Amino acid sequence: MKPIELQLITVKLENGQHGIFVGTPLIQNPSLMQDNQVSEIWFSDVRGLPENMPLEQLIELVKSQLCQNRKTMH
C-alpha cells in the first residue's frame, strides 16, 4: 500500500480555543517555508463523517474539497 502524506495544522484562536486539522502537505520542501507565508484561510462546511471511514476515502474527500476550492478561488 502506498503511503499517504498528511500534515496536521493547529490553529489557536485569541480566546484560547484551538483546533487541529488534517490535510495533505501544503509545502513540500521545508526549506521554502520562509517564502510561503499564509495569506488567507478558508473553512469548508462541517461534515459528519462515519467514524469508521477508511483513510483512503477521507483523503479522496479532502482532494475533492481542494478541487472545489481551486475552482472558486480563481
Q: What is the pLDDT of residues 20-73, one digit of tens each?
A: 888 777 777 767 666 667 777 777 777 788 889 888 888 888 788 777 766 766
Q: Between the CA of residue 49 and those of 1, 8, 36, 46, 52, what are the distances in Å?
A: 23, 18, 31, 9, 8
pTM of the complete model beyond 0.75: no
Per-residue pLDDT at 67 = 74
Q: Cell numbers of 17, please?
A: 480555543
36 and 27 Cβ atoms separated by less than 8 Å: yes
Per-residue pLDDT at 17 = 92
Angstrom distance (rounded) from CA 33 to CA 51: 33
Q: 15 pLDDT band (50/70/90 cuts)?
A: very high
Angstrom distance (rounded) from CA 69 to CA 66: 5
